[in-house]
Chain A
Amino acid sequence: DARVTQTPRHKVTEMGQEVTMRCQPILGHNTVFWYRQTMMQGLELLAYFRNRAPLDDSGMPKDRFSAEMPDATLATLKIQPSEPRDSAVYFCASGFTGIGYSQPQHFGDGTRLSIL
């Protein structure tokens, strides 16, 4: 089965350091999503792209977070500088969507981020 691949699976770093998380979406999917999951808030959408163009990043703290899609096979989420409150599991998901229709989102297994 095709899967969304996320790297790294785990990341521990100190406050103030830059963190980069990577995602390889399922081949053929045109929409990529970034979510954050915490015990308190559950799953929250941070940003998403269709055909590599950012469509909605309203869930993302703009001052320290940035999301990009350098090409169709790679999405990145960066945090600079990182803070302890950023500790969470970050999920990437991909799907095929268009005007008037969308297929279910398929998730990777996440990056578990701990900021000390």
Chain B
Amino acid sequence: EDQVTQSPEALRLQEGESSSLNCSYTVSGLRGLFWYRQDPGKGPEFLFTLYSAGEEKEKERLKATLTKKESFLHITAPKPEDSATYLCAVQATPISNFGNEKLTFGTGTRLTIIP
């Protein structure tokens, strides 16, 4: 069974204080690893997809990296508007041509940036 574990559960940073969020996963075969951002009262908002170990993607102050067992979301010089819950999800490689679109989500890291 696919599993995703995110740490820490919550993180408070001062504005400008860089840090990293961790996503550890076990999956039979990785088709893709996804990062989403979720604001209170809203649905998850797509950030990145990573497909293979060594891949990196960047967007503004965020950079996502991937190894064979985990992914990191690095936040550089964060601002208060980066406060949100960050969710990681994995999609397994389908075992047949039928396809597998299921995402297995972690429980998220709640990030708070203090001005």
Contact = CB atoms under 8 A, between A and B. Distances in A.
Contacts of A91: 43-44
Interface stretch (B13-21, B70-78, B99-107): B99-107
Contacts of A55: 98-99, 101
Given A4-B43, A42-B108, A99 B101 contact: no
Interface string A16-50: 00000000000000010100000000111100101
Contacts of B87: 43
Contacts of A45: 102-104
Given A42-B106, A42-B108, A43-B105, A107 B44 contact: yes
B99 A97 contact: yes
Contact of B105 (A42, A97, A108): A42
B45 A107 contact: yes
Given A42-B106, A42-B107, A42-B108, A102 B45 contact: no
Contacts of B41: 109
A33 B41 CA distance: 19
Nearest to B31: A102
Among B41, B44, B46, B87: residue with most chain A CB under 10 A: B44
Contacts of A61: none
Contacts of B89: 43
Contacts of A70: none
B34 interface: yes
B42 interface: yes
Interface of B: 31-32, 34, 36, 41-46, 49, 87, 89, 91, 97-99, 101-108
16 contacts: A4-B43, A42-B105, A43-B105, A45-B104, A48-B101, A55-B101, A93-B43, A97-B99, A100-B97, A102-B32, A104-B34, A105-B34, A105-B46, A105-B101, A105-B103, A106-B46
